[in-house]
Amino acid sequence: MKKVITLLFVAVLILTLSACKGKDADFSDGKITIWAWDPNFNISIMNTAKGIYGDDVEIIIVDMAKGDLETKLHASLSTDGDLPDIVLIEDYMAGKYLSSYPGKFADLSDSIDHSKFIPAKVAIGTFDGAQYSVPFDSGVSGMFIRNDLVTDADVAAASIAGVTTFAQFVEAEITWDEFIAVGQAYTARTGDAFMANNFADGGLFRTILNSTQSWYTNADGDFEFNGNPGVEEASRIYKEIYDAEVMFNGTSTEIYKAATDWATWVDPLGNGDVATVTTGVWISGTVKSTTANSGDWTVMKTPRADITGAVNYSNLGGSSWYVLADGDVDESVAFLKAIYEENQDNFYDTILINNGAIGSLISAASSTAYTANDPFFTNTAIWNDFALWSALIPAIDYGFYTYEADEALMNAMPAFLDGTSSLSTFLNEAEVAAKSKVE
Amino acid sequence: MRNLLQGFKNIIKRILQAIKRRMKKIGIGWAFIIPALFFITLFVIIPIFYSMFLVTQSCRGIVCESNFTGNIDKLMGDVQFRQVFKNTFIFFIVQVPIMLTLALIFAVILNNPKLRFRGVFRTAIFLPAVTSLVAYSVLFKMMLAPEGIMNTAISFIGISPIGWLTDPFWQRVTIIIALLWRWTGYNMIFYLSGLQNIDKEMFEAAEMDGANKRQTFFKITIPQLKPIILFTAVMSTIGTLQLFDEPFNIIRGSGTTASTMTLSQYIYNLSFVYIPNFGYAAVISYVIMIIAALLTIIQFRIMREEK
């Protein structure tokens, strides 16, 4: 009896100890594990890369929701948990990860030639003088508009100087107020929304903010909302959109469709419930996924904020690949270098055509795929436009805390939108909340 | 003399044998509990001590520095902490009394032997408690979406759509409704079993004395159920303080989180969503522990005084 118990006890101990066994330091198993999000974009692009690179190495691509990936990455990095070899990190988050987990990401300064990539993009993945990223896609923004739904009359109703027809409109550099005026005419005529927006999400806010050449922070890197012209203007535009109601069939109708998550924001793009979307170029893959709409979409420049210094070029999102120092660094770097730096088999042309991805490799933009006309977008060279616009995006140092600022602003915003707090009260409140998050 | 010595030896021998037997018994006992003890030490006791150490740390990812007073200062000036504290208490103060009252009413109704289909009703009311938290949260999210079934239904009776998931006030209502749906049946089961343990003779005696239903309920049912009411109140209090799943799954991603973020969700955000600060997250955890202990002590006191 005693022996049995002792045996059992030893067995349990051995099991536990083997379960507690740390990860092997030497992790060269001929496999590369990659974490990324968005099956229509990043995942699809990595699958293309995998196809080009061949079968020498087994590449495992794991698709996760973006928020889940970020949470899992934080948890694994701070507890030595399960980590991939390569991970996709959004540009807004890069500084946060690099500064919070020193030594966890592989220094790629010597293994990747960063001079071949757009400098602003390289700067985002640079920390303490070392380059950690393999720069990936640009988040250059544009306004996608349905040419079969919006009419000359809608455009004319907005009385924009020198613009009376739809054809003139899509070539024009408009302001957000002009955008709203066209939207009001459109909604008053059709009863449909002109755009979809999730007012709890800061995406559109950041798009507007980036185009004003400012960010959530001042020159010292501290949060500054109140008295920050860019933040004030972006807030004003949010409220203008929120308040822009028109009468349709006797009922007051909003020009926007309230989205509550990614799906409710994206679905109207396919079924004609909204006529425009203003966001990063990465949405083009989703727009094109409804093939029935081919020829119905046109792309124009991003609307501009109505303050000095604001331009019709902006950025939303965009991300880069990072290699984990504890993973299989050599194999991962060899793979990323072949595809993303050396453009094996014209990789960038393929992902441009298939996914609408504007890469950050400078030489790739001069390929013929960029100047080709896309039949989906009324046979215009939209990729060439996006590539040109991406060079004109105001360069911004996003700092470490974009999402902390975002959350504080969006949490305080409902009271501003429904009119219970003034602009300065709202911004003060958000600023205090944001600062308390990072102190 | 020799006999004496022999007797002495025998006594010692017996004592030794007794000790040996005893040791054998103890040994077997230990063998049984050591595996459990090992895991409890590894997963409970060590983490508790580690959390005490963490409280003194201020972290940024894996970069930590010793800063206990800094953590306390931060707690004092933390506006977000005040907000999540307020949210948690709104849920606690509004939801727990409604839920326990409803559970008691359901239990009394379903305890009536004359009621038909009792089993069906009991099962129906208890069933939410066995559904997965995430699954039901996702369903609630779908039903309460801006163009979901709920808003469609109320539009038929002429009410304009409600921002269940987006409006800060209605977000709280949504969470409270979800909690009521999920947990009322669970508490009802405790009351039902309590009701079945009350001696029927007491009710019969009350009836003989001419007591009406209301009097019976307040003078017999409630006092008899007191220990169970205390138990459910304590469990619900602790449950609400640990509230996480519903706000996380229903509200997050749909609307702003300011009015529904709970203490537990704040700890989660501090650890995994914002720049991870395990030190400060541990401080907030201790705050929850202290609040839960205080509330439980208060509830015990109230119950004892009424006795």
How long is chain A? 439
How many helices (H) does chain B have, and how many strands (E)? Answer: 14, 2
Determine whether the interchain pair A437/B274 forms a contact, defined as Cβ–Cβ distance below 8 Å. yes
What CATH number did the domain enclosing B96 receive? 1.10.3720.10
Coil/strand/helix, residue B306: helix
Residue B152 lies in a domain: yes
A1, A2, A9, A78: best mutation site toward chain B, by most B Cβ within 10 Å? Answer: A78
Query: Do A81 and A160 fall into the same domain?
Result: no
Query: Do B6 and B152 fall into the same domain?
Result: no
Eight-state DSSP code of residue A135: E
One DSSP character per residue, A373-400 reads: -BGGGTTB-HHHHHHHHHTTSPP----S
Determine whether the interchain pair B271/A75 forms a contact, defined as Cβ–Cβ distance below 8 Å. yes
pLDDT, tens only, B120-167? 999 999 999 999 999 999 999 989 988 889 999 998 988 888 888 888
To the nearest whole angstrom, how far is the Cα of B86 from the nearest Cα of chain A? 15
What are the tokens at B71? Answer: 């953590």
pLDDT, tens only, B39-50? 999 999 999 999
Query: Do A70 and A194 fall into the same domain?
Result: no
Determine whether the interchain pair A71/B258 forms a contact, defined as Cβ–Cβ distance below 8 Å. no
SS3 content of chain B, % helix, strand, coil (to 5): 80, 5, 20
Query: Do B150 and B43 fall into the same domain?
Result: no
CA distances from A306 to A173, A369, B253 (A): 12, 35, 30
Chain A hits for B278, Cβ within 8 Å: 78
Proportion of chain B above pLDDT 90, given as a percent: 44
What are the tokens at B209? Answer: 């004395």
Determine whether the interchain pair B256/A404 forms a contact, defined as Cβ–Cβ distance below 8 Å. no
Quick one: which of A47, A124, A138 has its CA closest to A322?
A124
Determine whether the interchain pair A96/B275 forms a contact, defined as Cβ–Cβ distance below 8 Å. yes
Predicted complex ipTM: 0.76
Query: Do A181 and A291 fall into the same domain?
Result: yes
Determine whether the interchain pair B61/A5 forms a contact, defined as Cβ–Cβ distance below 8 Å. no
* Cα(A279)–Cα(B222) distance, integer angstroms: 60
Average pLDDT of chain B to the nearest whole number? 89
* Minimum CA–CA partner of B251 in chain A: A260
What are the tokens at B33? Answer: 């509990």
- Tokens 């060079």, residue? A391
pLDDT, tens only, B208-245? 888 888 888 888 889 989 889 988 998 898 888 889 99
Determine whether the interchain pair B255/A200 forms a contact, defined as Cβ–Cβ distance below 8 Å. yes
Residue A389 lies in a domain: no
How many helices (H) does chain A have, and how many strands (E)? Answer: 18, 14
Quick one: which of A120, A8, A52 has its CA closest to B38?
A8
- Tokens 């049995």, residue? A4
* Cα(A401)–Cα(A423) distance, integer angstroms: 22
Across the A/B interface, how many CB contacts are shorter than 8 Å? 103
The pLDDT of residue B81 is above 60 = yes
Looking at the structure of chain A, the number of domains it has is 2
Of the candidates B35, B38, B62, the beta carbon closest to that of A78 is on: B62
Average pLDDT over residues B251-273: 87
- Residue A1 is predicted with a pLDDT of 52
Quick one: which of B21, B121, B37, B47 has its CA closest to B286?
B47
Query: Do A86 and A208 fall into the same domain?
Result: no
* Minimum CA–CA partner of A7 in chain B: B31
* Cα(A365)–Cα(A368) distance, integer angstroms: 8
CA distances from A102 to A91, A99, A325 (A): 17, 6, 10
Q: Which residues of chain A have pLDDT under 50?
A: 18-26
Query: Do the bridges between strand A297-300 and strand A195-197 make them parallel or antiparallel, or are there none, so unpaired?
Result: unpaired
CA distances from B301 to B220, B240, B293, B304, B305 (A): 21, 20, 12, 5, 6
Query: Do B83 and B50 fall into the same domain?
Result: no
Residue A66 lies in a domain: yes
pLDDT, tens only, B52-66? 999 998 888 888 889
Of the candidates A5, A200, A262, the beta carbon closest to that of B31 is on: A5
CA distances from A399 to A218, A394, A402, B245 (A): 10, 15, 7, 31
Quick one: which of A416, A420, A397 has its CA closest to A408?
A416
Residues in chain B whose Cβ is within 8 Å of chain A? 27-28, 31-32, 34-35, 38-39, 42, 60-63, 74, 77-80, 83, 145-146, 163, 165-168, 253-258, 271-276, 278
Residue A131 lies in a domain: yes
Going B241 to B242 to B245 to B247, the CA torsion angle's sign is positive
Determine whether the interchain pair B35/A74 forms a contact, defined as Cβ–Cβ distance below 8 Å. no
CA distances from B244 to A148, B89, B237 (A): 46, 14, 14
Query: Do A407 and A267 fall into the same domain?
Result: yes
Tell me which H or E stretch contains B290: helix B278-306
What CATH number did the domain enclosing A205 receive? 3.40.190.10
pLDDT, tens only, B220-230? 889 989 889 98
B37, B80, B164: best mutation site toward chain A, by most A Cβ within 10 Å? Answer: B80
One DSSP character per residue, A223-250 reads: B--TT-HHHHHHHHHHHHHHH-EEEETT
Specify whether the CB–CB gap between A258 and B166 falls below 8 A: yes
- Residue A13 is predicted with a pLDDT of 53
Chain A hits for B28, Cβ within 8 Å: 1-2, 5
Quick one: which of A59, A7, A413 has its CA closest to A225?
A413
Residue B65 lies in a domain: no
Residue B64 lies in a domain: no
Q: Which domain holds residue B22?
A: 2-54
Query: Do the bridges between strand A133-135 and strand A319-323 make them parallel or antiparallel, or are there none, so unpaired?
Result: antiparallel
Query: Do A327 and A290 fall into the same domain?
Result: no
Q: Which domain holds residue A193?
A: 141-315+396-438
Query: Do B211 and B269 fall into the same domain?
Result: yes
B85, B251, B274, B278: best mutation site toward chain A, by most A Cβ within 10 Å? Answer: B274
